Amino acid sequence: MPTKDTSWKTKATIGFLLLLAFNVILCAVAMGMALHGQHTLNVFPEDSPPALRFLLFLVGIGAAWICGRLMLETLVRGEVEVASAVTAAWGIVFYLALFFIVLAFAGTIHWAIMLVLLVIALFYTIPAFWKLVGGTRTGVIVILCLVLGGAAVFLTTRI
């Protein structure tokens, strides 16, 4: 008989916080650099082969799928409703995939596209995590990430 996993709420909160923070910071740095006339955010040199970017993209998609599956298993073991668990797991997959897309294609795609994808992810995942881990935790995470994003834009303009 499987045992009930009671740490699922902490794992879901930490996963949501880290992935949202990474995406917000990357998007804010790219936006800050573009808005203040600096060079765009480039993780790879401009003469790097496209196959290297595509390989990073594929590795990222695989990592996103694995992390989403682990999150789903953790939530189901914690006896969360399947519908809520699937929505949260897809949110984790989307944030991690977005993170790797930004890493792989930063400099080749416009920062506004990254911002639109991040906003779409927020509209999809905030209600899911609000229901899953509670409004207080979700609200604190979103406010913390907004502050981190603002700080990243501010620091980008000062460098």
Instruction: For residue 60, give the nearest of 120, 121, 105, 10 by alpha carbon.
Output: 105
- Percent of the chain, pLDDT > 90? 23
Q: What is the structure's pLDDT at 5?
A: 54
Q: pLDDT, tens digit, for every residue of 25-51?
A: 988 888 887 777 766 666 777 777 888
Quick check: 85 pLDDT over 70?
A: yes
Q: What is the structure's pLDDT at 109?
A: 65
